[in-house]
Structure 1
Amino acid sequence: MGTTFHGPSPWPHITRAIRTRGSRRAAIAHLGQDAPTLLPLRGGDVLVVNASRAAVRAHLTSPVALAYYRDAGVRVLSSPELHANVIATDRRAVIGSANASHSSTIAVEGVVITDDPDLVATVRRFIDGIEEVTEVDQVFLDNTVAQWQIGRAVPIPGVSGRGQADPGFLPAKIDRMFLRHIIEFEPGTTEQQAWAAESRHRRGPAGPASKYQLEWFHHDKTDSRLRRGDVLVFISADHAWLHPPAVVDSEAIAIPRSRGAIGHLLRSRTDLDPIPVPVAEQILADLGHPNPGLRADHRIASPSLRAAVLQLWNL
């Protein structure tokens, strides 16, 4: 392999380079909520991150990501002074600017990936030698949840956002909408605390702040068509209620110890109420869709029907 430089979009190269056997060590300053899709660590690995009060309050490091890695068996440590982004496997080292966040994937980043034994050993020693670290245990995680709720997002390119205002709840263009039956899932204590931390107010393009929340959607690997920006509309198992739309807010994330299940984070608005299915069907019929197919899982292919479904909630 040798030593190679990757930029301005190095994350596919980073992810591929660290999918190796043996223990991995990573010192990544900031983690977005979907860091596990970029930085696939496993039990026995070590992750040092800046999960200081300032970083969490600024929404630079997400409690969701911290909880995910802990549940996967990764030893997670926090260093309040950490600003480096380096990774070492048994045979390779990654040295560069990239935080583990979706924002980093759309920023201009640069990294060096090398299999030089001396550099690999040096990076491992650097990570092992980081001082003033704190173990991210349950007490620490509970505190990050509280700090996240107190703070507010500070958009920084490559770290937490594009550096511009929140574009709103729905994507500017909706090409993919799916109708799905609700799957009952009871998250563990850590998940409940972490997911609750992601519920917050954000100021939209105009008007008062709307309340949004993030929640898990768990499903089987055989249903892996979803991607970031897709819109899901859920129907209750008894076909009684049509729930307001939710937007897929992450790529697929493997769920630890779940026998192959995967999940996505969904972003939804808490100020929208479910609608009785018969009422929704009548409204859609009045809008020119007498057979909207609300009682079976499927992709809503018709652009006019997608628009009509959103109109149920004046979206």
Structure 2
Amino acid sequence: MGTTFHGPSPWPHITRAIRTRGSRHAAIAHLGQDAPTLLPLRGGDVLVVNASRAAVRAHLTSPVALAYYRDAGVRVLSSPDLHANVIATERWAVIGSANASHSSTIAVEGVVITDDPDLVAAVRGFIDGIEEVTEVDQVFLDNAVAQWQIGRAVPVPGVSGRGQADPGFLPAQVTRMFLRHIIEFQPGPAEHHAWAAESRHRRAPAGPAVKYQLEWFHHDKSDSLLRRGDVLVFVTADHEWLYPPAVVDSEAVAIPRSPGAVGHLLRSRTDLDPIPVPVAEQILADAGHPGARLRVDHRIASPSLRVAVLGLWDL
């Protein structure tokens, strides 16, 4: 391969380059919620990130991503002064501007990927030589979750990118909507911290500017393949409550040590409440949809029914 430059959208090349055998060392300044889909690290790898109080409060580095990597066996370290974005595998070095975040995938970025052994060694030496680092352990994660809750997303030129201050909720056109029963399962550390930070089931105040929240949806790969922008509506197992819509906000992420299980990040509104299923059924019947099938998992194929379901919450 030699040495190549990739821009303005280098993440597919970065992800492909680091899917190699052997350990990977990465120094990535900021991690978005969906960093694991871009930066697929595994047990034994090393990740240095800027998870300072300021970065977490500004929603530039996500406790969800930190917990995910730690749960996967990655050694995660925080350096409050880190601004570099470099990666070293046993064969490749990646040097460039890209943070591991969705905003980076829509920004104009540039990276150099090289198999020059001197550069690979230099990048790994740089990462291993970063001083004043703090191990991201359970106590660190708990503190990061607290900082995230009281912070807010703010636009920072060159870091948070366009669209970060208010990422929006529903896509411009809802073409895929699914009804799913809420699945009860024992969450691992990644899911636990996602829920503790911003779960719809724990509506703790997160500051007056907070309008949206993120959480994990854990399911089996055999379930219908979801993609970013799909809308999910959940019903409780006892068919008592219908929860407000949530939007799939990431590609599928494999759950560590859970064969066949994947997770998606879901974006939902903090100001919408669940509706009793009988009430929702009556409203939909009055709107011309007596067979809405709110008690069965299925894809809501009817465009008019999708509109009526969203209308339950005036969306």
TM-score normalised by structure 2 residue count: 0.92
Q: Hey, what does 1:2 align to over in structure 2?
A: 2
Q: How does 1:6-45 map to 2 (within 5 A)?
A: 6-45=6-45
Sequence identity (%)? 88
What do you get for the CA RMSD once the two structures are aligned? Answer: 2.0
Distance in 2 (alpha carbons) for counterparts of 1:218 and 1:164: 25
Q: Hey, what does 2:181 align to over in structure 1?
A: 181
Return the letter of the residue paired with 2:256. P
The gaps in structure 2 that reach 5 residues or longer are 200-204
Contact 1:103-1:160 at 8 Å conserved across structures? yes
The gaps in structure 1 that reach 5 residues or longer are 204-208
Q: Hey, what does 1:89 align to over in structure 2?
A: 89
Q: Give secondary structure in 1 for the equivalent of 2:180.
A: strand
Q: 1:269 to 1:105 in 2, by over 3 A?
A: same
Q: How does 1:119-158 map to 2 (within 5 A)?
A: 119-156=119-156
Contact 1:4-1:114 at 8 Å conserved across structures? yes
Contact 1:220-1:260 at 8 Å conserved across structures? yes
Which is worse superposed, 280-289 or 76-85? 280-289
Render the CA deviation track for 1:187-230: whole Å, top value 9, x for unaligned.
Answer: 24664344322466587xxxxx5643322110011225211221
Distance in 2 (alpha carbons) for counterparts of 1:164 and 1:76: 25
Render the CA deviation track for 1:42-90: whole Å, top value 9, x for unaligned.
Answer: 0000001111111111111111111111111000111111111000100
Distance in 1 (alpha carbons) for counterparts of 2:164 and 2:130: 34
Q: 1:302, CA displacement in angstroms?
A: 1.7
Contact 1:232-1:247 at 8 Å conserved across structures? yes
Q: Give secondary structure in 2 for the equivalent of 1:70.
A: helix
Return the letter of the residue paired with 2:3. T
Number of equivalences:
310
Distance in 1 (alpha carbons) for counterparts of 2:156 and 2:224: 31
Distance in 1 (alpha carbons) for counterparts of 2:12 and 2:76: 23
Distance in 1 (alpha carbons) for counterparts of 2:306 and 2:251: 22
Q: 1:161, CA displacement in angstroms?
A: 4.1
Q: 1:163, CA displacement in angstroms?
A: 4.8
Return the letter of the residue paired with 1:89. T
Contact 1:98-1:158 at 8 Å conserved across structures? no
Render the CA deviation track for 1:12-49: whole Å, top value 9, x for unaligned.
Answer: 11001100110000000000111001000000000011
Return the letter of the residue paired with 1:97. S
Q: 1:253, CA displacement in angstroms?
A: 1.1
Distance in 1 (alpha carbons) for counterparts of 2:94 and 2:224: 30
Q: 1:158, CA displacement in angstroms?
A: 5.5
Contact 1:97-1:111 at 8 Å conserved across structures? yes
Return the letter of the residue paired with 2:235. I
Q: 1:270, CA displacement in angstroms?
A: 3.6
Q: 1:283 to 1:240 in 2, by over 3 A?
A: same
Q: How does 1:293-312 map to 2 (within 5 A)?
A: 293-312=293-312
Contact 1:50-1:78 at 8 Å conserved across structures? yes
